[in-house]
Amino acid sequence: MEDQLLGRAGPTRWLRLLVRGAFVTVTGGALLAVVALVAMTIGPALLLQIDTPAFQAWRTVFVAITVQGLPFLLFGTLISAAISVFVPASLFDRLLPRKPALAVPVAGAAGMVLPGCECASVPVAGSLMRRGVTPAAALAFLLSAPAINPIVLVATSVAFPGNPEMVLARLIASLAVSMVMGWLWIALGRPEWLRIPKPAAGAGHGGQATASRAGRWEQFRQAVQHDFLHAGGFLVVGAMAAATFNIVVPQSALDAVSGSVWLSVLLLALLAVVLAVCSEADAFVAASLTGFSPTAKLAFMVVGPMVDVKLVALQAGTFGRAFAVRFSAVTFAVAVLCSALVGWWLL
Selected binder of another protein within 27, 34, 44, 216 (CB under 8 A): 44
Q: Is 151 in the site for another protein (CB under 8 A)?
A: no
Assess contact for 266 and 292: CB atoms under 8 A. Answer: no
Selected binder of another protein within 139, 172, 270, 285 (CB under 8 A): 285
Selected binder of another protein within 65, 133, 143, 181 (CB under 8 A): 65
Among residues 97 and 294, whose Cβ is nearest to another protein? 294
Q: Is 42 in the site for another protein (CB under 8 A)?
A: no
Residues 255-274 that bind another protein (CB under 8 A): 255
Residues 14-33 that bind another protein (CB under 8 A): 16-17, 21
**CA pair distance 292, 268, nearest whole angstrom:** 9
Selected binder of another protein within 132, 202, 215, 259 (CB under 8 A): 202
Q: Is 123 in the site for another protein (CB under 8 A)?
A: no
| Site size with another protein, rule: CB under 8 A | 78
Q: Is 66 in the site for another protein (CB under 8 A)?
A: yes
How many CB atoms within 10 Å of residue 58? 17
Assess contact for 266 and 336: CB atoms under 8 A. Answer: yes
Q: Is 207 in the site for another protein (CB under 8 A)?
A: yes
Residues 223-252 that bind another protein (CB under 8 A): 224-226, 228-230, 232-234, 236-237, 239, 242-243, 246, 250-252
Among residues 132 and 206, whose Cβ is nearest to another protein? 206
Assess contact for 223 and 86: CB atoms under 8 A. Answer: no
Among residues 27 and 210, whose Cβ is nearest to another protein? 210
Stretch that binds another protein, among 67-75, 104-112, 138-146, 326-334 (CB under 8 A): 67-75
